[in-house]
Amino acid sequence: MSEMLTDLLQNIYNRISTLGKSINSLQMSIDDLNKTFGEKVGTLVVSMNSMMDNVEKEGETQKLLLEQIGDETVREILKLQDKIGLKDLEELSVKLSKIVETSEEALKPEVVDLLLKEVLEGVKTLKEGSIVEDSKVNDEDLLKKVSSSIPTAKTPKKGKKPKKGKDLKDLGPPPGN
């Protein structure tokens, strides 16, 4: 019986020893696997960082190219505008708009009525005056008589400024002289 027990213990010891060797071998395989896994992950991280750097550089290059294309396009459009006179046309349009506004202001019914009234009053005064058809009249005397016969402008309505007209002397001599 003691031999059997010894054999049994020997057998258990051999199995434990084999199990220990297998555990050691498994531990070494796990360490190798971890090492390989670490290397592969490190290589992948380096590759991804490299790819990100390349993408960023390409993005910056494309951005610069697009900015240059945009700047060149704007320069070419400005040159084209200058060549076809678009800026001059815009300035002309603005000036014509101002002329239209001024003309509309001058042709308002109240302004036209006032001017016609003044002209009629001046003609009426001249007619009633001491001008004889056959006699020659001095231009300055005629202008003074017309100027004195034209009534002064009425005060403008609420908030409107009075219009300044031309002096009759600026109009030149009357027609027919």
Name which residue leads in pLDDT, 135 or 76.
76
pLDDT exceeds 80 at position 13: yes
DSSP 92-155: HHHHHHHHHHHHHHHT-HHHHHHHHHHHHHHHHHHHHTT--SSS---HHHHHHHHHHHSPPPPP
Predicted pLDDT at 14? 93
Task: Specify if 77 maps to a domain.
Answer: yes
At 141, give phi and psi (nearest 5°): -65, -40
Radius of gyration of the chain (CA): 54
Full domain range(s) for residue 8: 1-96
Which of 26-35, 64-73, 84-93, 136-145 shows the lowest mean pLDDT across its residues? Answer: 136-145
Per the structure, how many domains does the chain have?
Answer: 2
Name which residue leads in pLDDT, 19 or 141.
19
CB atoms within 10 A of CB 146: 20
Which of 64-78, 118-132, 143-157 shows the lowest mean pLDDT across its residues? Answer: 143-157
Shared domain check, 74 and 6: yes
